[in-house]
Amino acid sequence: MNGAPPKGLQQHSAVIYPAVMLLIFFVAPFGIMLAVSFYHRVESAFYEPAFELANYARFLTAFFGKALGFSIWIAALASAISVAVAFPFTYFMTRLGRPAQVRWLVLILAVLSLSEVIIGFAWSSLLSRTAGVSNILVWLGLMAQPEAWTPAFSALLIGLVYLGFPYTVLVLYPALSRLDPELAQASRMLGASPFKTFFLVIVPVLRNAIMSAFIMVFVFDLGAYILPQVLGKPEHWTLSVHITDQAVFQSNIPFAAALAIFLMLVSLALVSLTMLLGQQRRTP
């Protein structure tokens, strides 16, 4: 790029193409959703154009406030666990030879190809009383009788971590594989044990990668709407589930749109806040 005004079709298309794509796939649907969120719902029909704030006023109730709080809490917890598990995993993976790394990445990509539905029902069976892992523990003599571990908060958490784990690994992988191994060695030569080196050098040097991984999995987990229904109790329904419920089962599209916009604004605010905190730490 030389800063001169673009000439000819080829140079113009470099600007126009992304703009058109953005318009078709983001601006237009978002605009429609924004408009619908102010529409008036017609009972036993669909909706009619209007401008009312009733949809927004409705979720200022304790019920939806609680759902929002729970959504953020479980998404944050699940993504924190995902990062905490995936970071050491990816670190040790990048220390392996090339062929071993490729094998692990293929495995991770295979897990990635599983849909939320399959993951949800697989964990639901694994944690069930009739066919779950508790039967193995009974067989080993560690438990008296099989128990159902789902639906439960812990079941939902396991499902979300499982869902987010491969994404976390793939976001962390490039940064970790570029990490200069001499940094860790320098720390060891200066007297730091491998454990101290990990927390004093490797983690802080990769702060930005860890932050991006966290934000990505957080947003991803926030959008999960099948796992809470399969692995959670009704009180574990996240805002995403309520949006689905309103749109699909209650046919209240305007309210679902309003909820979706609200969830988006909240997650945008949280992501910006996280990034702002990250930047402040960097330049004291």
Partner 1 sequence: MAGLRLEEIGKIYGSLAAVQDVTLDFPQGKFVCLLGPSGCGKTTLLRLIAGLETPTTGRVLLDGKDLTEWPAHKREFGMVFQSLALFPHLTVGENVAYALRIRGADRPTQRKRAQELLELVRLPGVIDRHISQLSGGQRQRVAIARALALNPKLFLLDEPLSALDAKLREAMQVELRLLQQRLGISTIVVTHDQREAMTMADIVVIMDHGRVQQVASPLDTYRSPANAFVADFIGTSNLIAAILQSPTSASVQGRAIRIERLPQGVSTGAQVTLSVRPEEVHIRPAGEAGENRISGEITFIRDLGASIEVTARCADAEILAVMTPRERPSARIGDPVMVELPAPACVVLKQ
Question: What is the helix (H) or strand (E) element at residue 47, kind and residue range?
Answer: strand 47-48
CB nearer partner 1, residue 24 or residue 96: 96
CB nearer partner 1, residue 8 or residue 191: 191
Contact at 8 Å (CB) between 76 and 219?
Answer: no
CB nearer partner 1, residue 68 or residue 83: 83
CB nearer partner 1, residue 185 or residue 250: 185
Least separation, in Å, of the C-beta of 148 and partner 1? Answer: 47
Task: Find residue 47's DSSP bridge partners.
Answer: 41
Give the 3-state secondary structure of residue 242. helix
Least separation, in Å, of the C-beta of 185 and partner 1? Answer: 6
Cβ contacts of residue 128 below 8 Å, gap of 6+? 148, 149, 150
Q: What percent of the residues of the chain are helix, what percent strand, and what percent coil, each to the nearest 5?
A: 75, 0, 25
CB nearer partner 1, residue 130 or residue 280: 280
Task: Find residue 271's DSSP bridge partners.
Answer: none
Least separation, in Å, of the C-beta of 187 and partner 1? Answer: 7
Least separation, in Å, of the C-beta of 210 and partner 1? Answer: 12
Instruction: Give the integer Cα–Cα distance in Å for 236 and 75.
Output: 12
CB nearer partner 1, residue 18 or residue 204: 204
Cβ contacts of residue 271 below 8 Å, gap of 6+? 215, 218, 219
Total H helices, total E strands in the chain: 15, 2
Least separation, in Å, of the C-beta of 169 and partner 1? Answer: 23
Cα 203-205-221 angle, rounded to 5 deg: 55
Contact at 8 Å (CB) between 173 and 105?
Answer: yes
Least separation, in Å, of the C-beta of 203 and partner 1? Answer: 9
Least separation, in Å, of the C-beta of 90 and partner 1? Answer: 19
Which residues of this protein are in contact with partner 1, per CB under 8 A? 180, 182-183, 185-194, 196-197, 200-201, 204-205, 207
CA distances from 81 to 77, 177, 182, 201 (A): 6, 21, 28, 21
Instruction: Give the integer Cα–Cα distance in Å for 228 and 47.
Output: 28
CB nearer partner 1, residue 174 or residue 204: 204
CB nearer partner 1, residue 1 or residue 189: 189
Least separation, in Å, of the C-beta of 60 and partner 1? Answer: 43
